[in-house]
Structure formats: C-alpha cells, structure tokens
C-alpha cells in the first residue's frame, strides 16, 4: 500500500479543482469531489478515505454492495451513477445516499416507494442527454420540465439537480458551452418550480473538469485522475 499513487493523485486532483475555481472566482468549497471507484478494489477506496475523501461514486450495484460491506467501518457517502434497471431500485434505494442517473418516472417512483423510512429522502439528479446521442441514457432538455415536476412530488426522494456526460469536444470553450446548457436548464427549472432544493449540477470528469467548473458544476465525478487508468468498465 505504501507505494500507492492514490494519495498524491488526490492532492493533485484537489489542486486542479482549486485552480479551476480560482480561474473563475468561485469558492472551492462549492465543488464536491466525487471519487468514481468503479472496478477498483475496496482497498483503494480505503486509501482515499484515509486521505479525507468521503464521497464515492459507483456504477455497478453488486460491486458497490460488496465494497460497502467490506468498508462498513467507514463513514462513506455513497453515490450511484450508473444505468438503473428497475429490478435493482430497492437495493439502490436502501444502500445509497445519492442517485445521479435517474431518467424515467418509473425508476424515481420505485426509489421513492422503496426508500426506508428510517433514512432521509434519497438525493436524486435527473440525467440529461445533452447531445441527444442514442447510445446514452438520459432525457432531452425538452422532456425535463415535466419529469422534474413529477419527481419533485415524490415523498421518498429529494430532487437536487441535473447530471450529464456530454460528448467530448476538442475545443475547451465549446466544452464549456455544452456544460453551460445544463446550468441554464437548472436555473430555468428553479424559476419555474420555486424549488430551493435544486442546487446540484453533477458534471465534469477527469478530462473536462475545468470546463465543467467554469460552467457551474457543484459535483465533479473523477475516476481516472484519482485511481489511475481502468482496464475495463
Ligand atoms: C466512469 C465515470 C466517471 C469518471 O470518469 P473518469 O474519466 O475516469 O474521470 C464519471 N461519471 C460517470 C457516470 C462514469 O461512469
């Protein structure tokens, strides 16, 4: 473990966030670093935790549950960020604090109904497919107002904001413009609904976090820059 790169990687990732915030005069505390730990062993999460990292993002339910059990002595905030099948909603609702990848009312309803009453409402983001790519999950911006209206009525969940994974742009300014669309959509939604819980923009990964932060990201989801390149997944 002593030769792990994770502690240094975390320091440099946090520095990148600080620099990106300074560049656009944002308070660095307004950006949460979500460590995306899919395909990584529980021991890697433990190393990151020992460096102060608390929020972890997982894409695959069974893998996440195994790690959660192994790390049950730690006070981790668990975020589900992968595609959701309806037969998995109960376990997701019982085991996570946040879900970023909701794109259907049916899924939101099940997460709400299945949320244990002893837990606070589950924090949800709606996933937006900004490029309208067929290959990606997420709703279009046109579908957003109606779905948001329905989801915010559900008692077991709190609608917190929007998530997107836009296609890579070569030009950083173009990348920022795409992220800005998500920010505009959240602003519009806040005005339409007067919902003060809408405070979250989950956008930006290892390759594009500066553009996302410049456009208002409040959660950046970083895997590779913390844990190294993945072989798969
Ligand atoms: C894997 C993944 C990330 C992290 O991507 P990196 O490029 O490794 O930082 C972020 N968000 C989602 C939804 C992911 O699946």
Digit-coded pLDDT (tens) for 211-225: 999 999 999 999 999
The encoded tokens of residue 99 equal 């879900």
| Residue 1 pLDDT grade (very low, low, confident, very high; cuts 50, 70, 90) | very low
What is each CA distance from 184 to 170, 195, 206, in whole angstroms? 22, 15, 23
- The atom of ligand 1 lying closest to the CA of 225 is 9
Decide whether any atom of ligand 1 lies within 6 Å of the 224 Cβ: yes
The H-or-E segment that residue 54 falls in is: none
Q: What is the pLDDT of residues 81-129, one digit of tens each?
A: 999 999 999 999 999 999 999 999 999 999 999 999 999 999 999 999 9
Q: Which CATH class is domain 3-227?
A: alpha beta
Decide whether any atom of ligand 1 lies within 6 Å of the 137 Cβ: no
Alpha carbon 90 to its chain's center? 19
The Cβ of residue 92 has, within 10 Å, a number of other Cβ atoms equal to 25
Decide whether any atom of ligand 1 lies within 6 Å of the 40 Cβ: no
The encoded tokens of residue 208 equal 């594009």
The Cβ of residue 187 has, within 10 Å, a number of other Cβ atoms equal to 13
Adjacent-strand bridge partners of 98? 79, 123
Q: What is the pLDDT of residues 132-153, one digit of tens each?
A: 777 778 999 999 999 999 999 9
Decide whether any atom of ligand 1 lies within 6 Å of the 178 Cβ: no
Q: 212 C-alpha to center of ligand 1: Å?
A: 13
Alpha carbon 42 to its chain's center? 19
2 has pLDDT over 70? no
pTM beyond 0.95, yes or no: yes
Which residues, 6 or more positions from 223, have their beta carbon under 8 angstroms from its beta carbon?
35, 36, 37, 38, 57, 205, 206, 230
Ligand 1 pocket mutation pick from 128, 223, 226, 229 by most atoms within 8 angstroms of CB: 223
Decide whether any atom of ligand 1 lies within 6 Å of the 122 Cβ: no
The encoded tokens of residue 148 equal 């948001």
| Residue 20 pLDDT grade (very low, low, confident, very high; cuts 50, 70, 90) | very high
| Residue 233 pLDDT grade (very low, low, confident, very high; cuts 50, 70, 90) | low
Q: 222 C-alpha to center of ligand 1: Å?
A: 6
Nearest CA to ligand 1 atom 6: 223
- The atom of ligand 1 lying closest to the CA of 81 is 13
Which residues, 6 or more positions from 10, have their beta carbon under 8 angstroms from its beta carbon?
35, 48, 51, 52, 53, 226
Nearest CA to ligand 1 atom 11: 221
């Amino acid at each position: 473990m002593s030769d792990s790169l994770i502690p240094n990687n975390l320091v440099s990732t946090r520095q990148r966030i600080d620099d990106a915030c300074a560049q656009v005069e944002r308070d660095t505390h307004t950006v949460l670093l979500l460590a995306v730990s899919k395909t990584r062993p529980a021991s890697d999460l433990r190393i990151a935790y020992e460096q102060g990292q608390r929020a972890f993002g997982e894409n695959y339910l069974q893998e996440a549950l195994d790690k959660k059990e192994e790390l049950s002595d730690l006070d981790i905030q668990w975020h589900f960020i992968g595609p959701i099948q309806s037969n998995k909603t109960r376990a997701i609702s019982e085991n996570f604090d946040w879900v970023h990848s909701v794109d259907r009312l049916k899924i939101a309803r099940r997460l709400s109904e299945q949320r244990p009453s002893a837990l606070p409402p589950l924090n949800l983001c709606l996933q937006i497919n900004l490029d309208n790519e067929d290959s990606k999950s997420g709703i279009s911006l046109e579908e957003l107002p109606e779905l948001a209206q329905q989801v915010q009525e559900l008692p077991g969940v709190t609608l917190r904001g929007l998530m997107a994974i836009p296609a890579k742009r070569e030009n950083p300014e173009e990348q920022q413009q795409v992220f800005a669309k998500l920010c505009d959509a959240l602003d519009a939604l806040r005005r339409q609904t007067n919902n003060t819980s809408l405070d979250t923009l989950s956008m930006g990964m290892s390759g594009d976090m500066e553009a996302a932060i410049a456009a208002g990201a409040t959660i950046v989801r970083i895997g590779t820059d913390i844990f190294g390149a993945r072989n798969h997944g």
